[in-house]
């Protein structure tokens, strides 16, 4: 009897240790940002919100949920959280959310700031640089080895085409280029691991004919509209491209390896031709920066709702 009890106790201890090890194996990742991260004005906003942790309890899934879906399909284990608030920069999170952000030590953090760099002084990178540095310093008090990424966002059509926009009268790619240059400075100041080139991927999609560059004059047949109805936020396709670039940047995996039958795209109602084109754009942008693997074969992937439910 004593031997049996000892064996049972030993088994329970081993099971507990194994479970704890498995729980610790997941890489924790936190997305800090605004509506460009929680995917406002699109069906992505509440997509699979139950698979991620919204630290503000607002029920958002957004780009973090797409990232979670991609990693699950790729056989990777990430514990994904987001802390977001619409219409703000990193200064808001520093002033109001450090108690929430600092509840745990994160392995990876993705930072996304205001779309014009500074809401009060569009095109001025000073606030982005200062707040990125301060946020990085705070995150490293919880985990000195945290991998910090900065996400450079896209050109806003509403800031380019109508009179009075901060980039009015300039080519559509100009805003994304300026935003990226500011994030590069912020990355140096914060000693970030890398800048995620979302805006440049959008530009590439337009330049290669995948997406229409000007929603104000109509969308050309066969091209995608990456913007939402306000010509400011992203459409579902725009956020999908964002998530693909984030996935490739963080994991080092080729976005094309998810395949044209990738589950999230299937559930969002995208055509396989659209998925294939967006995955190629994401790969090409990352490969141009030396981030993505040279190549990875496209897999067939799940083909129906039941298979997708089993994968995720």
pTM as predicted: 0.91
- Reference 94, options 139, 133, 135, 55; nearest CA is 135
C-alpha 265/C-alpha 274 separation (Å) is 9
Per-residue confidence (pLDDT) for residue 17, from 0 to 100: 43
Per-residue confidence (pLDDT) for residue 301, from 0 to 100: 63
Per-residue confidence (pLDDT) for residue 231, from 0 to 100: 98
Per-residue confidence (pLDDT) for residue 91, from 0 to 100: 98
What is the count of structural domains for the chain? 1
> Is residue 117 helix, strand or coil?
coil
Residue 265 inside a domain? The answer is: yes
Residue 14 inside a domain? The answer is: no
Residue 206 inside a domain? The answer is: yes
Q: Which two tokens mark 126?
A: 């000073």
Of 17-21, 91-95, 226-230, 254-258, the least confident: 17-21
Residue 45 inside a domain? The answer is: yes
Average pLDDT, integer, range 129-134: 98
Q: Which residue has the higher pLDDT, 245 or 290?
A: 245
Residue 148 inside a domain? The answer is: yes
Diameter over CA atoms, the chain? 85
Q: Domain holding 113: CATH number?
A: 3.40.50.1110
Residue 36 inside a domain? The answer is: yes
Average pLDDT, integer, range 187-199: 98
Confidence class of residue 25 from pLDDT cuts 50, 70 and 90?
confident
Sheet strand arrangement including 147-152: 53-54, 78-84, 27-33, 108-111, 147-152, 194-197
Residue 242 inside a domain? The answer is: yes
Q: Which residues pair with 211 in a beta bridge?
A: 224
Confidence class of residue 307 from pLDDT cuts 50, 70 and 90?
confident
Residue 197 inside a domain? The answer is: yes
Determine the structural domain holding residue 68 and report its residue range: 26-311
C-alpha 225/C-alpha 210 separation (Å) is 9
Per-residue confidence (pLDDT) for residue 309, from 0 to 100: 76
């Amino acid at each position: 009897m004593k031997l049996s009890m000892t064996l049972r106790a030993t088994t329970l201890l081993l099971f507990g240790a194994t479970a704890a090890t498995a729980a610790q194996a997941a890489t924790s990742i936190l997305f800090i940002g605004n509506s460009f991260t929680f995917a406002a004005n699109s069906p992505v906003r509440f997509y699979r919100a139950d698979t991620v942790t919204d630290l503000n309890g607002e029920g958002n899934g957004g780009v973090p949920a797409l990232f979670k879906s991609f990693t699950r399909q790729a056989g990777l284990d990430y514990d994904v959280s987001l802390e977001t608030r619409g219409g703000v920069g990193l200064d808001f999170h520093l002033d109001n959310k450090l108690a929430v952000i600092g509840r745990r030590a994160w392995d990876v953090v993705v930072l996304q700031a205001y779309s014009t760099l500074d809401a009060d002084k569009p095109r001025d990178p000073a606030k982005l640089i200062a707040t990125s540095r301060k946020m990085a310093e705070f995150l490293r008090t919880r985990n000195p080895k945290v991998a910090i990424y900065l996400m450079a966002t896209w050109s806003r059509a509403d800031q380019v085409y109508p009179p009075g926009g901060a980039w009015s009268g300039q080519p559509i790619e100009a805003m994304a280029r300026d935003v990226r240059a500011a994030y590069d400075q912020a990355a140096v100041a914060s000693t970030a691991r890398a800048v995620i080139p979302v805006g440049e991927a959008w530009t590439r999609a337009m330049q290669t004919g995948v997406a229409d560059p000007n929603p104000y004059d109509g969308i050309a047949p066969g091209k995608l509209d990456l913007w939402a109805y306000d010509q400011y936020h992203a459409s579902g396709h725009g956020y999908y491209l964002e998530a693909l670039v984030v996935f490739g940047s963080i994991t080092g995996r080729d976005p094309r390896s998810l395949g044209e039958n990738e589950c999230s795209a299937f559930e969002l109602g995208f055509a396989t031709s659209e998925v294939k084109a967006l995955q190629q754009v994401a790969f090409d942008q990352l490969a141009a920066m030396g981030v993505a693997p040279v190549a990875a074969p496209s897999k067939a992937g799940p083909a129906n709702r039941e298979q997708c439910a089993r994968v995720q």
